[in-house]
Structure 1
């Protein structure tokens, strides 16, 4: 196993379960020290306890910039530096477009997108000052493909996050900081706890992509950081979808629409 991450310090939001927890374990196994944050302090403490002395837990609401500042200060006080920041919080509002209210849009945008903006404001000055670091933003295949009309606020924020990550990567690379964008498909996590439903049940469409274990995703994230890879996928089949979409977007959308009408 690579020791590239030995003695690095990683801050993970939403680290108390699922992909965040799995990534914490994968990075810790490579010698990193971890600041596990979660809005549920007990979950964060449980994960930190699993990792032992190389981890510390903190409660953090990513809609509150002061909470992120406290996490930054804790990481610096406990470990002396910050090398990896993983923005990993996400929620969904599911329903037909006309049934999802404005306040649901606002909540999803605040948590899924503006949380990353806050994180950049808090952590980037430290990374820029030291001239090194790595940012991982958890987006989704819903941010690469147009299938998610039944969860449109989520889809919109994840598309925005992919674009943000791409542009951020171009800005930060000359400054010694790398960026990765995680776009998982189906992952066995507790994200169902973060779904709010509106209106009548919808029938989602999309390619049949495999559901993978969170531990597999955590390993992929750790490997991507170690090898400086931007796009992290959990389903290689997405590449074929992206090729088809890029080659003929009109035809691609027409095919999906036809599949939906069947």
Structure 2
């Protein structure tokens, strides 16, 4: 682990519900103090209340550099340090490729990808200055495997998050900072609240991965950080899909093209 868990400080975006909330609880159980951020103030405050005096809430829109800088100041003022940053916010635009408007693409890119870029600008200098820490970026199996043609902005940004995270690992690990990339498959969360629908999308031709509860995923994240692992999967079956995809992309695409429509991976 690139951080000592006891009394370490984690900043988690999108921590008011779902995977973010579960990760906040998982880290808190390991004696990590948590800055709980969410776009909705009431959600952030509710989760911080659940965690007690080892947590503090903050309202944060990841499209705002000012908001992220305010979170950094709060963490340093309240806890005196920052050891872990989990970038967990994501939204979807769903529909046929030809019907999702440009403004929807721009919104998804601004939140899913540039939100992490802003976070890096704000928090990486702190981690680099102290020569320790850990970054967790939430991507998706849709960022590893080519099935999300019904949600292309999400798929494109999650592929970008995976690539960004891999490159960051090469840059940051020699400087004492760990990097993990969470690629969840089916997870029972309220992400449907963050979906904009356009037209009549066809179901993706995706693998049938099991659906996990958010609490189990939070534990996987905390364990992955403790083990300093890069890729954190919620479905071990995805690893076999990755091997098949990497061995022969053309053959993999041909098989998936002929597969029945459907699938539950996000």
TM-score range, shorter chain: over 0.9
1:15-74: CA deviations, max 9, x gaps? Answer: 000000000000000000000000001000000000000000000000000000000000
Shift of 1:99: 0.5
2: distance between equivalents of 1:149 and 1:189?
Answer: 21
Shift of 1:4: 4.7
RMSD: 1.2
SS state of the match for residue 259, structure 2?
helix
2: distance between equivalents of 1:78 and 1:221?
Answer: 24
The runs of 5 or more residues in structure 2 that have no matched partner are: none
2: distance between equivalents of 1:258 and 1:223?
Answer: 37
1:179-199: CA deviations, max 9, x gaps? Answer: 000000000000000001001
Q: Is the 8 A contact 1:35 1:56 kept in 2?
A: yes
SS state of the match for residue 178, structure 2?
strand
Equivalent positions of 1:214-233 (< 5 A) are 214-233=214-233
**Change in 2 beyond 3 A, CA 1:151/1:261:** closer
2: distance between equivalents of 1:38 and 1:99?
Answer: 30
Shift of 1:201: 3.5
Equivalent positions of 1:1-262 (< 5 A) are 4-260=4-260
2: distance between equivalents of 1:132 and 1:201?
Answer: 44
SS state of the match for residue 181, structure 1?
strand
1: distance between equivalents of 2:205 and 2:185?
Answer: 13
Structure 2 length as normaliser, TM-score?
0.96
SS state of the match for residue 78, structure 1?
helix
The runs of 5 or more residues in structure 1 that have no matched partner are: none
SS state of the match for residue 57, structure 1?
strand
Shift of 1:260: 4.7
Structure 1 length as normaliser, TM-score?
0.97
2: distance between equivalents of 1:255 and 1:33?
Answer: 46
2: distance between equivalents of 1:44 and 1:203?
Answer: 33
